[in-house]
A and B are shown apart, each in its own frame.
Chain A
Amino acid sequence: MAIWAKTHLLATSAAVAFLVSPVAPQIQTLASSVLSNPETIMLPYFVLRSLTRMTFAYILTLLFGIGCGIAFGFNERVGKLLVPVLDILQSIPVLGYLPAVLFFFISTLGEPIGAELASILLIFTGMAWAVAFGAIGGVQMIPRDMLEVSNAFGARGWRYIRHILLPAIFPEIVSGSILAWGGGWYFLTACEYLTFGKPARTLPGIGYYLFNSVMVGDTASAIFGLAVLTGLVLVINRLVWHPLIDYSEKYRFETIAPPIVTKKKAALPAALRRYSKGTYELVSRAIHRERVYLDHLATSHHVRRFQLSASQSLRRLRGRYHHLNYVVSLVALAGVLITLLAFAFRTPIPSIRDIVQELLSHSEILRLPVYALKSALRLGAGYAIALGWTLLAGLYVTRSKKLSRIFIPIFDVAQSVPALALFPFMVQFIIDASGGQPWAVEMATILLVITGMQWYLLFNIIGAIHAVPTDVVEAATAYGARGLAYSQHILLPAIFPGVVIGSIQAWGGGWNASIASEYITFGGRTYILEGLGSFLDLSSQIGDPTLVAISLISMTTIILVLNRLVWRRLLKKTEKFRFEY
């Protein structure tokens, strides 16, 4: 056995060496350039700092999420307030608040601690919603008879929390946490290298390393940093989240039909299989686990969001939350923001007259609707492309077990690459390829928007397809639905709710991406595209509290209005398309 394993290892490494040898010189130059970067040696320290930041933000997220769950489980009135407030908070483009929060913390607490706290808070705002909504969803899914039984056995108060509530929300918190960490990685890269204000503020971390390498034009180090970051994401997924997913499974109330058992088939000819059995087994087992984990994630996420958004009581709550309340909360938000920002920028708090005067003196405010429209068009273009490819990919990949086994792990790895970190690469690539055409930046921006949108869509679509009950699939087959007819009559309608939910999340991600992508400093040059995002960036550079607040408020308003006019309505329509579990 041991000899066999050794031979096997030798053979494998020989094969790898053979495959790699033609590109070895390039690898050598890249490696030497990575090694000569003085910051490479700091990487372990950077990773530690980034992880610490993420961990603190995650602890806040957990406390917040569990708190929301408990509040919701114990007091209906609190729940009634909580959901609309969370709804507004999660619609806010987090990245837009980054400069404001940063300035505020730095001016109150001083440079290093303030910046650190600001970054943790921002990562928290990127993480919190998935876990909070997961916890609330988990509380909602506690069956009524479960409540009555625990009441009858005298499990009230703390004992109820410990024996019923916490175990019930555990699986939801785990799946929410995975999404939260994904969101956290996305913001981490943005938080560690801030181009807002001059000079750029940095925090030591893997995101900084990556961004800085790109900024100084050290492609080799950038690639290396990206690889380290992606590796880190994958390792944490494997070591923490996969085992937790497996473990949390037994806590779940049975609401979803068990997945169809996959038939294991011989994928390799017998002779080959015997030789490569060791590796093959290892790889296939790893891939299988990955797929199970992803299926689970996609399905449970899809189902959970759905039960939450469509549940009767929540809809009633939302119905009561009138437009007027939205307006009042937005005005209040504006007031708080302006005060905070004034404090942050060390300018006197403007009176209402000052604000009005300022609004009148800045003619560009009149162009805000145009900016908004331009940003929205960019998002629209990105959305159309993202929806197109994810629909095709979703339909294609789920057609057979074999295809999902190949593609879903690839998607998983791809989506754990933080898209923001990739942006400079994309800009450079497109600008180089186009020879510096003006539309090149526009294209790069749309590309970034796509990367901010696509995974929400893809995983919701795959989740929706996997959630089609086996009986319905069989009935459709039995009555002769095949090929195109099957897609048209079964798959597309079944996907519809997933697409709507994915779209809501995608547009949220898209607005965030637009803030990062309309104003780019890169390679010593600044590219500015007219839009809400760049307006926000420019206002925070001037340090004008009113302008920053106005741009933030208008972006938040647009998102809320879009939610109301488009997505809420579509969400209502999806009710008809839901299977009963």
Chain B
Amino acid sequence: MSAPVVEVRHVSKNFIRGEEELTVLDDISLEAREREILCIVGPSGCGKSTLLRMIDGLDHPTMGEILFRGEQINTPNPKISIIFQTFALLPWKTVLDNVEFGLEMHGIPKDRRKEIAMKFIRIVGLEGFENSYPKELSGGMKQRVGIARALATDPDVLLMDEPFSALDALTADTLRREVLESWSDPSIPPDTIIMVTHLVQEAVFMADRIIVMSPRPGRIIGEVKVKLERPRNVKSEEFFELQDEVTSMISQSKLR
């Protein structure tokens, strides 16, 4: 087993809301390794999005620490990219400019930027739309822009926050397959994907490992390894069994 890329060590997170202090995450420890897709599954309110934002340096743990290749994460790291559920594209920039955004912020010269951006626009299948504005695109196409923007900075780690939840089921399915396909090509970044979702089926379909969380406060209640061959058959018996295993973990935690 390879060395961990991202390490979360005993992380807790409290929010102060009004007079009371709310524990959102309670003593979370996990790690993500090279060439691994890690899914964090849990019902809403388990703090999984907060955890993801902390891994990106957008938020900070109250206790504990988060390491990227052995160094503590305090601010957003160029080697970590993130994809949002709501796409979070800039409406005043074209597809090309949106994909170039991260590269521009990192000071890459114009010609090189365009070359890289075009490569990833091609990879996500948006060739011909590079001069369109986000408003002119469908939801699925918008998320493709989000993915291209994330990959263009050549990240080691890709964070995905419910990336397919705002899309219709068919589009979501297509995008899932495409993300897995490009991930299986070692020439395309990233090496490691950490994805947050509330859909058990999505997690079993994508992940090498599933971390299951319970809400209020967010705690890890189990880990499930998925060793099925990709592309996975969602109708196979093994798939159903894994899905059941994760689902029963979540429902048991609710009963307690």
A residues sitting closer than 8 Å to B (CB atoms) are 261, 263-264, 469, 471-472, 474-481, 485, 489-490, 493, 496, 575-580
Contacts and interface: CB of A to CB of B under 8 A. Distances in A.
A480 B78 contact: yes
18 contacts: A261-B17, A471-B85, A471-B86, A474-B58, A474-B84, A475-B82, A476-B101, A478-B57, A479-B81, A479-B105, A479-B149, A479-B153, A480-B76, A489-B105, A493-B92, A575-B135, A579-B91, A580-B91
A481 B88 contact: no
Contacts of A263: 15-16
Nearest to A492: B92
Nearest to B142: A580
A474 B105 contact: no
Nearest to A578: B91
Interface residue tally of chain B, by bracket?
A: 20 to 34
Contacts, number: 69
A261 B18 CA distance: 9
Interface string B75-112: 01010111011111111100000000110111000000
Closest 3 CB pairs of A and B: A479-B102, A475-B88, A480-B105
B180 to A, nearest CB: 23
Contacts of A471: 84-88
A479 B101 contact: yes
Contacts of B81: 478-479
Contact of B105 (A469, A481, A578): A481
Q: Which of B17, B53, B92, B133 has the most CB of A within 10 A?
A: B92
A478 B82 contact: yes
B58 A261 contact: no
Contacts of A475: 82, 84, 88
A180 B101 CA distance: 42
B202 interface: no
A480 B102 contact: yes
B86 A485 contact: no
B191 interface: no
Contacts of B58: 474, 477-478
Contact of B106 (A261, A480, A579): A480
A479 B76 contact: yes
A575 B101 CA distance: 21
A478 B135 CA distance: 22
B26 interface: no
A303 B56 CA distance: 31
Given A263-B15, A475-B82, A475-B88, 10 more contacts: A471-B84, A471-B86, A474-B58, A474-B84, A476-B90, A478-B57, A478-B81, A479-B105, A489-B90, A576-B92
Contacts of B105: 479-481, 485, 489
Contacts of B149: 479
A555 B158 CA distance: 59
Interface string B45-65: 000000001001110000000
A472 B90 contact: yes
B82 A577 contact: no
B76 A477 contact: yes
Contacts of A579: 91
Nearest to B133: A576
A477 B81 CA distance: 11
A509 B102 CA distance: 41
Contacts of B88: 469, 471-472, 474-475
Nearest to A577: B92
A472 B91 CA distance: 10
A472 B98 CA distance: 12
Nearest to A264: B16
Nearest to A490: B90
Nearest to A494: B92
A151 B56 CA distance: 48
B90 A261 contact: no
A577 B91 contact: yes
Contacts of B86: 469, 471
Contacts of A493: 90, 92
The listed residue with most B CB atoms (<10 A of its CB), out of A477, A485, A493, is A477
Most chain A beta-carbon neighbours within 10 Å: one of B17, B101, B105: B105
Contacts of B102: 479-480
A263, A474, A493, most chain B CB atoms within 10 A: A474
Nearest to A473: B88
A264 B20 CA distance: 11
A482 to B, nearest CB: 8
B135 A580 contact: yes
Given A261-B15, A469-B88, A490-B90, A474 B53 contact: yes
Given A261-B17, A471-B86, A478 B91 contact: no
A577 B16 CA distance: 34
A489 B53 CA distance: 22
B230 to A, nearest CB: 28
A471 B142 CA distance: 14
Contacts of A489: 90, 101, 104-105
A471 to B, nearest CB: 4
B167 to A, nearest CB: 15
A469 B56 CA distance: 18
Contacts of B133: 576
B32 to A, nearest CB: 17
A575 B133 CA distance: 11
Contacts of B53: 474
Nearest to A486: B105
